[in-house]
Each structure stands twice: as structure tokens, then as C-alpha cells.
Amino acid sequence: MLRHVRHTCEALLSDPRASDDSSADLATLIRRCAEQDRAAFRRLYDRQAARLHGIAMRITRQPALAADAVHDTFMALWQHAASFDPARGSAEAWLTSITRYRALDIARRRTREVTGVEMPELADPEPDALAKLTGGAEVAALRRCLETLEPDRRGLVMAAFVDGLSHTDLAQKLAMPLGTVKSTIRRALAALKRCLEP
């Protein structure tokens, strides 16, 4: 359930207009990468690198760091393509997820390396990420269920699964006890699970 919510939330940040590829076509290319097909890897890179670089730029705010995140994403893709499961989410959402995690990791490492310099707030330039939803029964159901949560709970879930903030980051940012953050998110996820169950 947790992984399903994470993949679906991350799909909110991928702009479906940025790619004319069908998810099935991307899934086929990923499957071929799992078979060490270099031509498929090249096609996947050509089709997705620019979109993924845009996502990484939004997080790192630096072209060189964004390029590193995209490089790491494609290295992970080549090494772990066999772990992609289309039943758990779309190919675009999977690639977006990898890129976001790599970019967040690079940004956090960079912040630790540059003593005394704070990273700019990693706020989404489009505050209502949910507004980017487009069709699809699964995504529509998640949006409907998210809207049933209290605003505080919904905000924590979105910050954790869309912005990629850890429980510790959220506790520090919101000046809340860590246990409260964890239990609030756990209750919110349980409510989402109940709402999404048929």
C-alpha cells in the first residue's frame, strides 16, 4: 500500500504533456534494458532524459547536480531494470521516482558539504501538484481520497511522498515531535487505504 501511494503521488509531478510516449512503449524499453539491450537503453535515454533533467533541476536548482541525478537514474535503470513492475505503476512514474530520490540525495549531500550555506526551500514551483492530475481511475481515486483527509494530514502525506521529505525533516520543519509526525502519517495512510479499497 505504502509503495503504491508513493508511486502514485510521484506520478503527480510528472507532466504527461512532456512526453508523447505511451507508458506501454516505455515499459517495453525498460524490459529490453533488463535484457541488456543497448539500443533500447539509448532510445529510453533520448526520450526521457530531458523530462527527468527538468524534475532534477526543480529539486537541485543546479544544472550540474541535476545532470548527476539523471546520470545516476540511468545507471540505476541499467542495473535494476528487471525490478520494474508495470503492475505497481507506470514506467514514467517509476523513472520519476528514481530521479526524485537521486536528486534529493544529491541535494542533501551537497548541503552537508557546503558548511553554512542553506539550500533553497525545495518548494514545488506549482504549489498545487494535484492540479496536474490527468484522467485515470487510479489517480482520480487517489485524488478523491486525499481530499477527504484533514488538511494537516494531507499536507504531511504530500510533503513526505511528493516532496520527498523524511519524517525527521518534517518534524524539524514543522517543530513537531517525531512520533507525532510518524503516527499522523501512519493514520493518514490507513485512511487512504480504507478509502481506496473497493
Q: Give the pLDDT confidence of 70-98 residue by residue, as tens digits.
A: 999 999 999 999 999 888 888 888 898 89
Please indicate, yes or no, whether residues 157 and 80 belong to a single structural domain of this protein: no
Please indicate, yes or no, whether residues 148 and 82 belong to a single structural domain of this protein: no
Domain ranges, residue 49: 1-123
How many domains does the chain fold into? 2
Please indicate, yes or no, whether residues 87 and 140 belong to a single structural domain of this protein: no
Please indicate, yes or no, whether residues 83 and 28 belong to a single structural domain of this protein: yes
How would you class 144 by CB atoms within 10 Å of its CB: exposed for 0-12, middle for 13-18, buried for 19 or more? exposed
Distance CA 118, CA 19 (A): 34
Please indicate, yes or no, whether residues 48 and 87 belong to a single structural domain of this protein: yes
Please indicate, yes or no, whether residues 19 and 117 belong to a single structural domain of this protein: yes
108: which residues sit within 8 A by CB, 6+ positions away? none
In a domain, 107, yes or no: yes
Q: Torsions phi, psi of 127, nearest 5?
A: -55, -35
Distance CA 123, CA 81 (A): 30
Residue with cell 479499497: 197
pTM score of the predicted model: 0.50
What band does 135 get if pLDDT is binned at 50, 70 and 90?
A: very low
Please indicate, yes or no, whether residues 143 and 117 belong to a single structural domain of this protein: no
Distance CA 41, CA 37 (A): 6
Angle between helices 23-34 and 38-60 (to 10 degrees): 110
Picking from 123, 157, 175, the residue at the C-terminal end of a domain is 123
Query: pLDDT value at position 127?
Result: 39
